[in-house]
């Protein structure tokens, strides 16, 4: 069996990530023909086809997808080693890079990074993005960890380490003035602002509404917890969300909690990749975080 040529594999990795042979050749400062020849040699040595052409586009084959996953791991670990050596074997000096799902509660994120806020010498960066972008950034080692309320599913479970960080009960939240009740039936004549139908909270709320034969008047939907918080505060309608989202409004009296929904939670997850070198502040954050305190 031929020995794997990592130089050829690197060129394949770059083309597979970019999806365009011409642009990749320009970025790497090599000719398109030379780049194509390198990939062809890799295919011949491994006796597989990595790309197929669809018009002017190069599309990965099944073997290509498998090769790309290994190449991502190989070269991201190489980048990790290079970073470690360049920092004089002191990775704790580098900022911890935290990604967060753009629609998550900002209050929850702040509660998680509280140890960093309390440590003057701590260095960190916070980036908001969608779930796909979070996973891509983790895979390419642009992030040290990701915070999300969407668990990782599917074939990527062998790459991702997904840990349940906290479970927050979901409550009926609204303006002050209504009387507390023991079930949703007391709020059948109210207007609502809710998460969209594809969210787990909305799915659970719809199931309870059907159980109690409630036909809610939904005046607005928002998938962003920050926007849902503003709508609950300013619309005069009821909403459903974890208390942590509106903890400041609850403390000030601008909003009121009327009912905790039975067996309905929002789950918060931390996602990392299976890597050899972890940022030293990651364990500090996990050990210091206490879900009951938020």
Give the pLDDT confidence score for residue 1 in this predicted structure: 42
Q: Find the domain containing 101 and state its range.
A: 91-167+268-293
Q: What pLDDT is recorded for position 161?
A: 83
Give the containing element (helix H, strand E) for 137.
Answer: helix 131-139
Where residue 55 falls (left for φ over 0; alpha for ψ -120 to 50; beta otherwise) is left
For residues 123 and 143, state if they share a domain: yes
108: in domain:
yes
Neighbours of 165 (CB within 10 A): 19
Find out whether 241 and 231 touch, Cβ atoms under 8 Å: no
User: Are 149 and 183 members of one domain?
Assistant: no
Query: Does some domain include residue 218?
Result: yes
- Both 282 and 137 in one domain: the answer is yes
The last residue of a domain, from among 30, 57, 86: 86
Residue 1 lies in a domain: no
Q: pTM to 2 decimals?
A: 0.62
The H-or-E segment that residue 251 falls in is helix 247-252
Per-residue confidence in pLDDT tens, the chain, 294 aa: 457 888 899 999 998 887 788 888 888 888 888 888 999 999 888 889 998 888 777 888 989 888 988 888 788 777 767 766 766 544 555 688 899 999 888 889 998 888 888 888 888 889 999 999 999 888 877 888 999 988 886 555 457 888 888 899 999 999 987 766 777 777 777 899 999 998 889 998 999 888 888 888 999 999 888 899 999 999 999 999 999 899 999 999 999 999 898 888 999 999 988 765 567 677 778 776 665 434
pLDDT at 293: 39
Residues constituting the chain: 294
Read off the DSSP letter of residue 157.
G
Short-list 161, 163, 183, 164, CA closest to 172: 183
In this structure, the answer to whether residues 287 and 157 fall within a common structural domain is yes
User: Are 30 and 68 contained in the same domain?
Assistant: yes
The C-alpha angle with vertex 192 and arms to 110 and 187, in degrees rounded to 5, equals 110
Q: Provide the 8-state DSSP code for 289.
A: -
Residue 129 forms beta bridges with which residues?
Answer: 101
**173 and 116 within one domain:** no
Q: For residue 290, what pLDDT is reported?
A: 61
Q: Is residue 242 part of a domain?
A: yes
Q: Nearest 5 degrees, angle CA 51-CA 1-CA 35?
A: 35
Supply φ then ψ for residue 129, to 5 degrees.
-160, 175
Give the total number of structural domains in the chain: 3
Q: Give the CATH number for residue 115.
A: 3.40.190.10
Does 231 map to a domain?
A: yes
Residue 231 has a pLDDT of 93
Same structural domain, 178 and 258: yes
Q: Which pLDDT tens digit goes with each residue over 113-171?
A: 888 888 888 888 899 999 999 998 888 778 889 999 888 865 554 578 888 888 999 99
258 & 188 share domain: yes
Same domain, 163 and 274: yes
Cα R_g (the chain), whole angstroms: 24
CATH, residue 15? 1.10.10.10
Of the three residues 60, 86, 112, the one that is the final residue of a domain is 86
Contact between 266 and 201 under an 8 Å Cβ cutoff? The reply is yes
Place of tokens 């926007």: 227
Q: Do residues 125 and 241 both lie within one domain?
A: no
Domain termination residue (choose one: 28, 60, 86)? 86
Identify whether residues 172 and 242 lie together within a single domain: yes
239: β partners: 173, 193
Residue 174 within any structural domain of the chain: yes
Burial of 148 (0-12, 13-18, 19+ CB in 10 A): buried
**Can you give the pLDDT at residue 86?**
66
Q: Give residue 208's pLDDT.
A: 87
Residue 76 domain flag = yes
What is the distance, to the nearest Å, from the Cα of residue 235 to the centroid of all Cα atoms in its chain?
29
Query: Do 162 and 275 belong to one domain?
Result: yes
């Amino acid at each position: 069996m031929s020995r794997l040529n990592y130089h050829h594999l690197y060129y394949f990795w770059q083309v597979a990530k970019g999806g365009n042979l011409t642009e990749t050749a320009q970025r790497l400062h090599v000719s398109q023909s030379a780049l194509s020849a390198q990939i062809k040699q890799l295919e011949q040595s491994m006796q597989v086809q990595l790309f197929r052409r669809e018009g002017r586009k190069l599309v990965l084959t099944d073997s290509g997808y498998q090769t790309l996953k290994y190449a991502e791991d190989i070269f991201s670990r190489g980048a990790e080693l290079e970073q470690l050596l360049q920092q004089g074997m002191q990775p704790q000096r580098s900022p911890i890079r935290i990604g967060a799902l753009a629609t998550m509660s900002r209050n929850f994120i702040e509660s998680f990074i509280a140890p960093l806020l309390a440590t003057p010498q701590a260095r960190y960066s916070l980036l908001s993005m969608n779930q796909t972008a979070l996973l891509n950034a983790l895979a390419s080692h642009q992030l040290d960890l990701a915070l999300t309320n969407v668990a990782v599913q599917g074939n990527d479970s062998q790459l991702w380490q997904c840990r349940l960080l906290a479970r927050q009960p979901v409550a009926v939240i609204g303006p002050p003035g209504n009387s507390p009740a023991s079930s949703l039936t007391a709020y059948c004549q109210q207007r609502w602002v809710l998460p969209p139908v594809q969210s787990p909270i909305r799915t659970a709320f719809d199931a309870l509404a059907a159980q109690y034969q409630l036909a809610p008047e939904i005046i607005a939907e928002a998938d962003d917890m920050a926007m849902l918080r503003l709508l609950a505060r300013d619309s005069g309608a009821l909403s459903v969300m974890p208390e942590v989202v509106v903890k400041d409004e609850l403390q000030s009296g601008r909003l009121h909690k009327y009912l905790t929904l039975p067996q309905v939670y929002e789950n918060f997850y931390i996602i990392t990749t299976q890597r050899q070198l972890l940022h030293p502040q990651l364990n500090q954050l996990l050990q210091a975080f206490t879900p009951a305190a938020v």
